[in-house]
Amino acid sequence: MAQKNDFTAFVHVHLNRFGNAIDIGVLIKGRNFLHTVSWKTNIAHRTGVEMGGGRVSTVLKNRARTHAVVMSAEAAATVHHDPARVASAGIVIVSAKEARSLAADPDYTAVTLADIEPNRLRRIVTGFGVPFEFDVIGLCAQDHGVPPRDVSHLDYRHRLFAETLDQSPFPHALVYPADQVPETFNRLRCMARTAKKIPAKEIFVMDSGMAAIQGACCDPLCRGLERFMVLDIATSHTVGAAILAGEIAGFFEYHTHDITAEKLDRLLPALPGGGLDHAKILDEGGHGAYSRRQFDYRENEITIATGPRRERHSANPHRSKPWHWNRSRPPSSAAGTSVTST
């Protein structure tokens, strides 16, 4: 059992990496797909479920300008949740049954969309000589939710989190068992459904931003602290959170491409005191700000920085509160800053 538990923990880390860096998997697949359909086939065809879109959506739209691109209705959500927007890009949406029938047509290249690839994971795990079975699987990915028509997806995602935290102000309140994922989180629901092909006693899914906050809260440096902050600078989104007595006191969220070190030096001191304006952050293209409890930034005991792009924003040497770098070698360029690797 000890060997199984140890390996389960190892695989869990890799699943989290797939979740936190889902777009990387899509980019690789997108590049391969682009090369394949550009030079070896005439028409592209997609089946599957919603997955992280990004670059692969761009590839599909570009391909639709010169060839027929056909997608099942469920897979089309990868491009956009509004079918009219998908159709406007020249992509034809058909039923799952029609999509399956086209898979046998030699004029089509059939590709199945999914964030989780059970067969690939099986080959990896069994390659270590370990049985492909788990006690618990934890998955996370970015999910904006499916907003009602004419509702901003930026504000909608923020409202989903705020409504949950108003009832239970802890990051783990946004962890969902595979069979209890809210309907609006379609991508997470698709991941949970695909993951059921993996033999496991329990499966849980969570939005990657809140998963980063939850993970950072478990850092040994935070143990016993009353007031601290978390900063997750991820591939596409950046989330900052103020933690008070174990509760999320407030948070903000931006797109990472809009984040600079100077902006963080404005956002972080204002966050714990409730000094960020939700509407202003929306106007700047972010997802907004939330505040339910406050404390003075000068009382902040530590800031835990995590996320694959955190080293891009090494601590300002004039900053009064140093960042501590979570689970990674600290950047050698962060001159004048006290950093800790855990």
| DSSP structure string for 227-256 | EEEEEEE-SSEEEEEEEETTEEEEEEEEEG
Total domain count, the chain: 3
Q: Assess whether 224 and 185 both reside in one domain.
A: no
The pLDDT mean for the chain works out to 77
Within-domain flag for 120: no
Q: What are the tens digits of pLDDT across the range 129-153? A: 999 999 999 999 888 888 888 887 7
Tell which of 84, 113, 142 closes a domain.
113
Within-domain flag for 88: yes
Q: Assess whether 216 and 306 both reside in one domain.
A: yes
Of all residues in the chain, the percent with pLDDT exceeding 90 is 38
Within-domain flag for 92: yes
At residue 324, the pLDDT reads 58
Which token pair is 337?
A: 């800053």
| Average pLDDT of the residues in 18-37 | 28
Q: Assess whether 139 and 106 both reside in one domain.
A: no
Q: Assess whether 191 and 221 both reside in one domain.
A: no
Tell which of 85, 113, 141 closes a domain.
113
Q: Assess whether 77 and 91 both reside in one domain.
A: yes
Within-domain flag for 283: yes
Within-domain flag for 292: yes
Q: Assess whether 141 and 277 both reside in one domain.
A: no
Among the ranges given (94-98, 230-234, 268-272), the one the predictor scored with the smallest mean pLDDT = 94-98
Q: Left, alpha or beta for 245 (phi > 0: left; psi -120 to 50: alpha)?
A: left
Q: Assess whether 14 and 137 both reside in one domain.
A: yes
Q: Assess whether 192 and 235 both reside in one domain.
A: no
Which token pair is 252?
A: 């903000």
Within-domain flag for 145: yes
Within-domain flag for 337: no
Q: Assess whether 35 and 107 both reside in one domain.
A: yes
Q: Answer whether residue 105 shows pLDDT above 90.
A: no
Q: Answer whether residue 24 shows pLDDT above 80.
A: no
Q: Assess whether 11 and 152 both reside in one domain.
A: yes
Q: Are strands 108-113 and 43-48 parallel, antiparallel or unpaired?
A: parallel
User: What angle do the packed helices 22-39 and 55-64 form, to 10 degrees?
Assistant: 20
At residue 240, the pLDDT reads 95
CATH number at residue 95: 3.40.50.1100
Show the domain range for 57: 23-113
Q: Assess whether 321 and 221 both reside in one domain.
A: yes
| Average pLDDT of the residues in 236-259 | 93
Instruction: Name 45's bridge partners.
Output: 70, 110
Q: Assess whether 189 and 262 both reside in one domain.
A: no
303/326 Cα distance (integer angstroms): 10
Tell which of 190, 205, 220 closes a domain.
205
Within-domain flag for 166: yes
CATH number at residue 298: 3.30.420
Nearest to 70 by CA among 36, 38, 105, 35: 105
Specify the higher pLDDT residue, 67 or 318.
67
Confidence label for 254 from pLDDT (cuts 50, 70 and 90): very high
221/16 Cα distance (integer angstroms): 21
